[in-house]
Structure 1
Amino acid sequence: MNNLMKNYPEPNLAKGSRKQKIRGLPSFREKFVAVILGIICFVLMYTVVRVITFIPSTLIQEQNNSSRITRLQKESHCGHCPKDWFTYSNNCYYITFEEKTWNGSLTACASRNSTLLYLDDEEELKFLKSLSVMSWIPVFREDRDHPWKWQNGSTFKLQISDSSPEKRNCAVLSPEVIKSDDCEFPNLYTCKHKLEN
């Protein structure tokens, strides 16, 4: 009897149930589409989370910057600074993003009815460093063996970092230190104008 069963083909019912099982499984194309949609969903979720966490920190930073500028404007005792300048301790400052030589910076500030950034006191130096200002200052020396002087001829008393053996006879204020630099090398500059009392 067993031999007889082996010779007969399987009933159609069994074949149909196998095909139904195969049809019930997703095809390669369906699996591929599902993976692609999953990746897209993940990227979108990641982007949404990044935007949600990035925007508040950016807004806080912008609010801090605008409140610092507003605070600076309120510290003006009298008079007003020109547009695009800011006020601190009865002075107007114009921070540029163009680079000029030391002499070119002196001329550019003079054309704005101001002077190249000079430092009145230690408090102003700390304030400018806190803004990460990098600028030529009107301090120079005749040669490496000569003392540093303000443009008006008075002696400059603050420390200037001067580690290069090259000819560097002009001074630059950076966020960390005041350093020597080549007067002909283009650097950023800041103009300063004292408000009238």
Structure 2
Amino acid sequence: MAVSQTTRWRLISGTLGVICLLLMATLGILWPIYTEPISSPGPNMELQEGSDCCSCPEKWVGYRCNCYFISSEMKTWEESRNFCVSQNSSLLQLQNRDELRFMQLSRRFYWIGLSYNEERGDWLWEDGSTPSRDLFSSLVTSDPKNCIAYKPMNGVVDEPCERENYYICKKQHI
């Protein structure tokens, strides 16, 4: 009788061990998805780069002498733009592909300050300048009335401007 109880406990503990391993593997897969940063990209040594050249407001991220507000709430493109203006900033105007390298693991799309200007027949930043052609290899849209949402290190999509998305504001320091 003692031998069969020992065998039963070994079987139970072995089964529990396998279940534990499966749960740990599942956690390892799901953890990055559910721990994505919301209002801040989290601690990163690169965020300290050039931090002596600017001081950013609370809830803003300083990176390479610029301040970024990474929203945790969704708004339309126009509401996002108005929020940024109220913060003495503008929707993100990308200077190069590496600008948001600290957010490269983000799985979200964010409104940026790029929209289609029908008068000029081209995509323009809020300040009226044209984006660099090497910044977005193919910026084609089925509807020029759409606005652009950007996923760091992954590209752009055009979406109706009335759709709600997260957004990024940028304050440039000279």
When residues 131 and 90 of structure 1 are mapped into structure 2, their CA distance, relative to the original with a 3 A threshold, is: farther
Q: Which residue of 1 aligns with 2:38?
A: none
Letter in 2 for 1:71: E
Q: Unmatched 5+ residue regions in structure 2?
A: 32-40
| Structure with the higher helix share, 1 or 2 | 1
- Letter in structure 2 aligned against 1:182: P
Higher radius of gyration, 1 or 2: 1
Question: Which 5+ residue runs of structure 1 have no aligned equivalent?
Answer: 1-25, 59-64
Task: Give, in whole Å, the separation in 2 of the partners of 1:124 and 1:100.
Answer: 23
Over residues 144-189 of structure 1, what are the superposed CA-to-partner deviations in whole Å (9 max), with x where a residue is unaligned? Answer: 992111112222333353253x454311212422232211111110
**8 Å contact 1:77–1:89 — kept in the other structure?**
no
**TM-score, normalization by structure 2:** 0.68
- Take 1:128 and 1:74, find their aligned partners in 2: how far apart are those partners? 11
SS of the equivalent of 1:124 reads coil
Backbone CA RMSD of aligned residues: 3.7
TM-score for the superposition, normalised by structure 1? 0.61
**May I ask how many residue pairs the two structures share in their alignment?**
157
Larger RCO (CA within 8 A; separation ≥ 6): 2
Matched, 1:45 2:20: no
Mapped to 1, the partners of 2:24 and 2:130 lie a distance apart of 54
Distance 1:163 1:111 in 2: 29
1:51-130 alignment runs, 5 A limit: 68=44, 70-124=45-99, 127=101, 130=104
Other-structure match for 1:183: 161
Q: Which SS does the other structure have where 1:106 is aligned?
A: helix
Alpha-carbon shift at residue 43 of structure 1 (Å): 4.0
SS in 2 for 1:42: helix
Which residue does 1:138 correspond to in 2?
A: 113
